[in-house]
A and B are shown apart, each in its own frame.
Chain A
């Protein structure tokens, strides 16, 4: 494991290894999207309380899941970057941040659209919604910070530190539905007990979560590879590679 991270501090091995993952991520994402969309929009029956409006879950929950997952990936990268100075971790953190912000915004927007017919309002200042909105601002903060500091190492360090500080919001979001009284419903998916959702509704949901996650992996690696080439532009392997195209 440590030799793996050590290798990943070299741009060349990162570039080669990530290139092998991308086709797999892309294919998995597209297959899961196909199954999830057909299953979610067509095959799953309407909910007995919410009718067809519950189908928003297949966009809302995966994007909310990604908003937390991407920030966790960024925190992991921040530790790798600050403690072991692994350069590729900075790249992953940098490209993940806008993706995470997009999915957080999507989770908030679809939640809002879902809230109108079900709760009678687009927005309430309750724990789950507010802490998710704060997460969006933390994402914005990291993006702004990494773009306003001209010196590359300092910018990477500052973004990593802000990511570590911002991580306190992640457990707050996750447990907010248990800690406070909120309009937002509790967890539907449970790891340690039976999920409170019928299989015909659950399987497309898991597929969509997988599809979103693989899509993120695909986008993240692809963008990181492009930045990696630019970063190592003085290296011989980059020059040879680009000239061979």
Chain B
């Protein structure tokens, strides 16, 4: 089982290329997700401040 998983990680010798491509994909997806949440949070905070005064 362990060797099976190691084989998976090795990607037939292309590990460096495959995992760096997937890593970049994950960064772009997660990063944009976090940024979207921040836009929403900031907008709500700004509007709440506005209506409080």
Contacts and interface: CB of A to CB of B under 8 A. Distances in A.
Interface of A: 41-42, 46, 51-53, 55-56, 59-60, 63, 99, 102-103, 105-106, 109-110, 113-114, 116-117, 215, 219, 222-223, 225-227, 229-230, 233, 238-239, 242-243, 245
Interface residues of B, number: 27
Contact of A110 (B13, B21, B51): B21
Contact of B44 (A56, A60, A110, A245): A245
A56 B12 contact: no
Contacts, number: 87
Interface in B11-32: 11-14, 17-18, 20-22, 24-25, 28-29, 32
Given A53-B11, A53-B12, A219-B33, 17 more contacts: A41-B8, A46-B12, A52-B14, A55-B18, A56-B17, A56-B18, A59-B21, A59-B25, A102-B32, A109-B24, A114-B17, A117-B14, A222-B39, A226-B39, A230-B47, A233-B50, A242-B48
13 contacts: A52-B13, A52-B18, A53-B14, A56-B18, A102-B28, A109-B21, A114-B17, A219-B36, A223-B36, A226-B39, A226-B44, A238-B47, A242-B51
Nearest to B10: A52
B49 to A, nearest CB: 10
A106 B32 CA distance: 12
Contacts of A229: 43-44, 47
Nearest to B29: A215
Contacts of A225: 40
Interface of B: 8, 11-14, 17-18, 20-22, 24-25, 28-29, 32-33, 36, 39-40, 42-44, 46-48, 50-51
Nearest to A211: B29
A242 B11 contact: no
Contacts of B47: 229-230, 233, 238, 242
Contacts of B29: 215
Given A113-B17, A114-B17, A223 B39 contact: yes
A51 B14 contact: yes
Greatest chain B CB density within 10 A among A55, A225, A238 is at A55
